[in-house]
Amino acid sequence: MSVHDKNRKKAVVLVSGGLDSATTLAIAREQGFACYCLSFDYGQRHRIELESAQLVAESLGAVQHETVALDIGWMGGSALTDSSIAMPEVEEPGIPITYVPARNTIFLSVALGWAEVLTARDIFIGANAVDYSGYPDCRPAFIEAFQQLANLATKAGVEGDRFTVHAPLIDLTKAEIIRRGEALGINYGLTVSCYNPGPRGEACGRCDSCRLRAQGFRDAGVADPTKYREKPPEFD
Ligand code: ZN
CATH number where 80 lies: 3.40.50.620
* pLDDT computed for residue 134 by the predictor: 78
The overall average pLDDT reported for the chain is: 91
Q: Which domain holds residue 187?
A: 3-235
Percent of the chain with pLDDT over 90: 70
Q: How far, in Å, from the CA of 209 to the mean position of ligand 1?
A: 6
pTM: 0.93
Q: CA-CA distance, 144 to 178, in Å (whole number)? A: 25
More confident residue, 63 or 87: 63
Q: How far, in Å, from the CA of 46 to the mean position of ligand 1?
A: 11
* pLDDT computed for residue 196 by the predictor: 87
* pLDDT computed for residue 79 by the predictor: 77
Q: How far, in Å, from the CA of 35 to the mean position of ligand 1?
A: 29
Is pLDDT at 144 greater than 70 in this prediction?
A: yes
* pLDDT computed for residue 47 by the predictor: 84
Tell me which residues have their CB within 5 A of the ion that is ligand 1.
Answer: 194, 203-204, 207, 210
Is pLDDT at 154 greater than 90 in this prediction?
A: yes
Q: Looking at the 3D structure of the chain, how many domains does it have?
A: 1
